[in-house]
Amino acid sequence: MPKKRESRGRRKGAKGKAGTVQCDNCGRVVPADKAICVTRMYSPVDPQLAEELEKKGAIIMRYPVTKCYCVSCAVHYGIVKIRPEEQRKPKGFQL
């Protein structure tokens, strides 16, 4: 059976078995090396209030929040874009 991708869609390399994570959107169990993880900074303070407090010299802490998504949810949210047909691998191509 031909391979569609050299990496088989994963970042595993030659590690053997990879653990699993749950998608933070739909709950699907996905291999940890296949999941698309995004780290964003989160502040518990309201942005307008934080802006006023920062003007007065207060330091507002921001916390990194990492969310992992399955491929279909990452495409749905626009985290990963679908490549146009010209940039995809040609049909007769074999690795």
In whole angstroms, what is the distance from residue 70 CA to residue 32 CA? 10
Taking alpha carbons only, the member of 28, 46, 36 closest to residue 11 is 36
Q: What percent of the chain has pLDDT over 90?
A: 66
Q: What percent of the chain has pLDDT over 70?
A: 95
Q: Structural domain boundaries of the chain?
A: 20-80
pLDDT band at 6 (very low <50, low <70, confident <90, very high): confident
pLDDT-derived band at 68 (thresholds 50, 70, 90) equals very high
Q: For domain 20-80, is the CATH number 3.10.620.30?
A: no
What's the pTM?
A: 0.76
